[in-house]
Structure 1
Amino acid sequence: MRNVLIAAILVFGAAALTAQVTVSHAIALHGEPKYGPDFTHFDYVNPDAPKGGTLRYHSIGTFDSFNRYAQRGDTPAGSETIYDSLMVSSDDEIDSMYPLIAEKIEYPADYSYVIFTINPAARFQDGRPIRAKDVVFTVQKFLEEGVEFIQTYIPGTTGKVIDELTVRFDIPDGDREKIMYLASFPILPPQYWENRDFSEPTTDVPLGSGAYTISDYNMGQYVVYKRIEDYWALDLPVNRGRLNFDFIRYDYYRDENVALEAFKAGEYDFYLESIAKNWATLHSGPNYDQGYIIKEEVPHEIPANMQAFVFNTRRPFFSDRRVRQALNLALDFQWMNTNLFYGQYTRTRSYFQNTEYEAKGIPSAEELEILEPIRDKIPEEVFTEEYNPPVTDGSGNIRPQIREALKILKEAGWEIREVAAPEKSLEDQEGDSSKEKETEEPGFLGKIWRGIKSFFSAIFSWILGLFGGDSAGGVRRLVNVETGEPMEFELINYSPSTERVIIPLQQNLERMGITLNIRTIDPTQYLNRLRDRDFDMISQGFAANAIPGSGLLLRWHSDYIDSTYNQAGVEDDAVDYLLEGIVDNQNDLDALLYWGRALDRVLTWNHYVIPQWHLSKFRISYWNKFSRPETRPKYALGIDTWWIDTEKAATLPDRFQQE
């Protein structure tokens, strides 16, 4: 009888263990995937879309390398098409992945490992089969020589070949997000990369695993991708109705304004506009009027990025939250939206904008339970107020905001003082020399008069300091009470066309006695300075998080203070605590909701950035030679589902027709 019981326990125990292992065609970060194992194509494609022709884009800047994963150098736009991954996301779900190179995925309830089964038909671009050993090679290459993000995100991950088509990865501190991250790895051909340094740039055209390869280029000027003629995965469910262009070309321009004019002249096919003024004033002309170019706004449901002016809090004066809070008052969004953006934008107020994790109102009871242990480490406003960026009346008069800012800055040890005006030129000095001599040795009454003038000048400057005006003599500057140093800092930028949205901030800071120097540099210099953390402020986007996950650690956790992704330089115990709570609750959606909202509150009230604005639609212009599916993806523009419509193309003037 005892042996029977033991046998029963072993049988039922094994069944219970098996039940905790998921074997599936797909994986979702939370919930269930939309598409079942027998799906034939995504809902937002035309499975019978015709194939052929060339899609022509533009890009700004230059490129000097074809290794998009090197730690230096600039790679061309579109180079991601060279490689395929084990699984691929759909564009009508936020968090699901489906089979590409892998045809099956297996993982336990604790996400401590993942097993991928490779599609036996999978091939590299040279025809060689993709096998389990190639997947292990890829991950090892990324971990040993790849970019910093990968090495810090999945440290200690090890791969093992189970058989020719089966590979297993063991993941320390595993979670579903890390499994999905591994599923998204571009698979590298060892026959090309084995004896090459993955961290270094290359000017050789790389062998890939994807649908496209580089067929033509002029380094730094243009690049052409050609779809592989016998691409093995073209008819897989994830690819049906996609990858419809035989060629994809990117032409490079140094200036966005020049690029737009080139588009309007028919030099390329598609333009995604990011500047409100251009959209309102420049997307017009004869080719628009005659219907040769289509101008369109396409709504989407993508969570909004936190685009912001980012403080480098490693700079001494930006380490003080009060200074960051005060400088937030200098951004007059209401005036900018009316006068610069044609009313097109909404102010961003959350790192989880347009998701359920966006913190609103005051903390709930569940959030308070999370926040109470760190009450003495976070701003009191977290508990008492809903965060919203400052609001003005839109008139351009921000005197109330200036008064409030100067009050906060005074508490932080800064005050307005009148300092000597900049030195005059030699000619000016010579012109004033006689006046200086006339007043060089004033008499008794002259000294009294000078004292009276000095007294009233100080009073006048003080009054102007309250109301944001300028003094008649000298220069009003915000200076540190202890050191006497003026507040002056630099914002680096790589796009001349964006200076127009920085200048209003610069002007309002000047009214506070603060000097903001705008420095526009080329993209390569900009990237190098980010890597070296050699900046005071940047305009940067924080990728939208539809669901908070462990990837947030790289952006905010103090363990990654030296990561280039922690651009704000945040090193805060309270933030660490909240991030760790998010990681620990990845499998509890209810708890994750409250941890995410709590993090949002603490980040926003710490004023690590000056939030900018967002738009919930794509602004596009394109030459009228394309057709697209009736159903659009919710979370992407979906250009990869478009196709050349030969009937439409035939109506264009000969010089604009598809080559």
Structure 2
Amino acid sequence: MLSQLPLRSLPSQFGAYWRFIAITLLSWLLIFPLGVEAAQGIAQYGKPKYADGFAHFDYVNPNAPRGGTLTLPNPDRRTSFDKFNPFTLRGVTAPGIGALMFESLAVSSADEVSSVYGLIAEDIKVAPDQMSVTFRLRPEAQFSDGSPILADDVKHSFDTLMSKLANPQYRTIYADVKQAVVVSERVIRFDFKTRNSELPLMVGGIPVFSKNWGKKADGSHTPFDKITFEHPIGSGPYVIESYRAGKSMIYKRNPNYWGNKVNVRVGFFNFDRIVYKLYSDDAVRLEAFKAGEFDALVEYRAKNWAKSYVGPKFNNGTLIKKAFPNHNGAGMQGFAMNLRRPIFQDVRVRKALGYALDFEWLNRQLFYDQYSRIESYFQNSDLSANYEGETVPTAAELKLLKPLQAKYPQLVPEAVFGAMPPAPSTAPPSSLRSNLRKAKELLAEAGWTYRDGALRNAKGEVFRFEIVEDGPFFLRILTAYVRNLEKLGIKVDIRTSDFALHQKRMDDYDFDMTTIRFPDTQSPGNELYDRYGSAAAKEKGSDNVIGVQSPVVDALIDAIVRSETREQLQAATRSLDRVLWNSYYVVPHWYSPTHRIAYRKEMGYPNPPLYYSAESWILSTWWLQEVRK
């Protein structure tokens, strides 16, 4: 914890000048004790790439033209919205709110791992014992209403997000943060419950909003979980211009945005206006793009990319399609089973369901061979247990895994100590037929046998479950998967709904199986508690939709967040990967190492960074080469 030195009375022989110097020095020691230097950038491991005083990030164009309007479609599956508050559980937030209207104390760079640089904060100071971090705020930083961003506002933001009025995921992610302490008007300190090298970076990313957001004319406040269409008093570069609920969302640049000259924002947010148009489905959205209704589109469907991005405007160069490489970890995408359902409790059942997915057929018939199979929870990353091939656990991994096996033998199977088993394949000499035979054997071992026209247990109950999706996007894939499951005698119902209803079902864990997408990071940490931690499984709205409740997984996440070197992080993450993979919670899907983006020829962009999402890259660093009047 940062030292707090008492301000003692000074000897009378000190002149006024030296008394001033001494008081000033002691005041600074109260804020920043000796032994650690404040800096704009900090790194979880080693040193940050960029030294203090750097001009801008390498992956932006500092001279990008400014102006014009960027028009984008739905950034995800939402087709409507019913609130402007992105921090509460219920409802669907308007697109762009979080990225455009709220800044944080610090931001990460996209061309390195585990570093952050001050944004609202002028500099950052980690305590020598790593049990706290202190941020000094920029005097020029202000909210959209012109009021200064003060330490009180930062504390208010943190305390609100940690309250029961906000989405419970924040209480899980920041569970190891003890408190936010206002040191002075523009200095805020976060104290930690445990030593965790990621925590200083994590709290730097807390979104900051004004304590006056939701304040009424009579001085009373709307409860935070009741704030819906009250315009946010945010810290970001844009404010709301207008909107049509369920149709469009329009932002305009805040002319008084304070961050324009801050080095970590040079080359960012180059448009005067940003417009989101919401379309009812993918086909309508694609046709709208071809008709010139918006400027760029990220495509996730391989068939569309191969077959639908054609026509005169692509031929004459008015519209351009391009696959941009990235070095992102692929993370995990797949059909996730809800472990809260008794039907999925047996690991042999979960393993059997994986044999029914014929990836090779899907890739050939539906994906035009554009994908590779996911075979790790940290795919395409050096944190994956199979990154270096089919290797057995290292000595560092065994040091973590062996004690856990001794304590929880049923949760750490022997398979964890071998090479990572590949995802089921139908490539020769394997086949779908042989895979379904393996599935049938596993199901029989678990007490499920085929009789009277269906797969049944000893009580005669039919093996039946429902797959829920937030639209028709996966129907062709689901139909192929269900067809194979039916060959085993399994009955499957497919249910699609709109984004809002689907999100509510996810928040309430009201499903049997669904498609999940867990994006990877280059340095995973506390977010894993929300994704796989036992406590999160009991909190509605968490990322742990699977319902993992395992002391082994909890212990390995602990090891990840306690890692002090990249080598320790690799050992802990690979150990977790082995345990999750051999638990068969998910029927793994596929991934691509590129972002598929189509855009109008007027759009300009810098070289892509190493690690980025396509939507945020377009939103934050692209520009118009010719500003339209």
Contact 2:324–2:608 (CA<8 Å) still a contact in 1?
Answer: no
1:643 aligns with 2:619: no
Alignment deviations for residues 209-233 of structure 1 (CA, whole Å, 9 cap, x no partner) = 1100110111111010101112111
Alignment deviations for residues 253-293 of structure 1 (CA, whole Å, 9 cap, x no partner) = 12111111111111111110000000001011111111100
User: What's the C-alpha RMSD, in Å, of the aligned pairs?
Assistant: 1.9
1:393 aligns with 2:427: yes
The residue identity in structure 2 corresponding to 1:566 is: N
The residue identity in structure 1 corresponding to 2:106 is: M
Contact 2:358–2:425 (CA<8 Å) still a contact in 1?
Answer: yes
Q: Find the counterpart in structure 2 of residue 41 from structure 1.
A: 56
Contact 1:334–1:394 (CA<8 Å) still a contact in 2?
Answer: no
TM-score normalized with structure 1 length: 0.84
Counterpart of 1:328 (choices 342, 345, 354) is 354
The Cα of 1:401 is off from its aligned counterpart by: 0.6
Contact 2:372–2:591 (CA<8 Å) still a contact in 1?
Answer: yes
Cα distance in 2 for partners of 1:18, 1:88 equals 24
The residue identity in structure 2 corresponding to 1:576 is: D
Cα distance in 2 for partners of 1:99, 1:280 equals 42
1:68 aligns with 2:86: yes
Q: Find the counterpart in structure 2 of residue 652 from structure 1.
A: none
Cα distance in 2 for partners of 1:27, 1:199 equals 34
Describe the shift of the 1:201–1:278 C-alpha distance in structure 2 as closer, same or farther (beyond 3 A). farther
Alignment deviations for residues 124-150 of structure 1 (CA, whole Å, 9 cap, x no partner) = 112111111111111111112221011
Give runs of aligned pairs for residues 541-560 of structure 1, distance below 5 A.
Answer: 541-560=517-536
Alignment size in residue pairs: 574
Counterpart of 2:415 (choices 372, 381, 386) is 381
Q: Find the counterpart in structure 1 of residue 96 from structure 2.
A: 78
Describe the shift of the 1:394–1:521 C-alpha distance in structure 2 as closer, same or farther (beyond 3 A). farther
SS in 1 for 2:81: coil
Give runs of aligned pairs for residues 15-414 of structure 1, distance below 5 A.
Answer: 21-59=36-74, 60-80=78-98, 81-144=100-163, 145-155=165-175, 157-193=178-214, 195-360=221-386, 361-375=391-405, 376-377=409-410, 378-393=412-427, 398-414=432-448
- Which structure 2 residue ranges, 5 or more long, are not aligned? 1-28, 216-220
Alignment deviations for residues 523-564 of structure 1 (CA, whole Å, 9 cap, x no partner) = 111111111111000101112132232321222222332133
The Cα of 1:591 is off from its aligned counterpart by: 2.7
SS in 2 for 1:199: helix
The residue identity in structure 2 corresponding to 1:521 is: S
| Larger helix percent | 1
Cα distance in 2 for partners of 1:593, 1:623 equals 41
SS in 2 for 1:621: strand
The Cα of 1:20 is off from its aligned counterpart by: 5.5
493-502 vs 284-293, which moves further: 493-502
Q: Find the counterpart in structure 2 of residue 452 from structure 1.
A: none
Q: Find the counterpart in structure 2 of residue 519 from structure 1.
A: 495
SS in 2 for 1:559: helix
Q: Find the counterpart in structure 2 of residue 430 from structure 1.
A: none
Cα distance in 2 for partners of 1:517, 1:91 equals 42
The Cα of 1:367 is off from its aligned counterpart by: 1.8
Describe the shift of the 1:20–1:153 C-alpha distance in structure 2 as closer, same or farther (beyond 3 A). farther
Contact 2:172–2:529 (CA<8 Å) still a contact in 1?
Answer: no
The residue identity in structure 1 corresponding to 2:196 is: D
Describe the shift of the 1:83–1:548 C-alpha distance in structure 2 as closer, same or farther (beyond 3 A). closer
Cα distance in 1 for partners of 2:114, 2:71 equals 30
Alignment deviations for residues 53-80 of structure 1 (CA, whole Å, 9 cap, x no partner) = 0000011410111111122111111111
Cα distance in 2 for partners of 1:620, 1:336 equals 22
Cα distance in 1 for partners of 2:553, 2:393 equals 16
TM-score normalized with structure 2 length: 0.88
The Cα of 1:519 is off from its aligned counterpart by: 0.4
- Which structure 1 residue ranges, 5 or more long, are not aligned? 1-13, 420-475, 650-657
Counterpart of 2:545 (choices 554, 567, 577) is 567
Asked which structure has the greater CA Rg, the reply is: 1
Counterpart of 1:504 (choices 480, 483, 486) is 480
The Cα of 1:363 is off from its aligned counterpart by: 1.4
Describe the shift of the 1:509–1:589 C-alpha distance in structure 2 as closer, same or farther (beyond 3 A). same
Alignment deviations for residues 395-427 of structure 1 (CA, whole Å, 9 cap, x no partner) = 99511011111011101101111x2xxxxxxxx
Give runs of aligned pairs for residues 442-481 of structure 1, distance below 5 A.
Answer: 476-480=453-457
Cα distance in 2 for partners of 1:172, 1:220 equals 43
Contact 2:376–2:385 (CA<8 Å) still a contact in 1?
Answer: yes
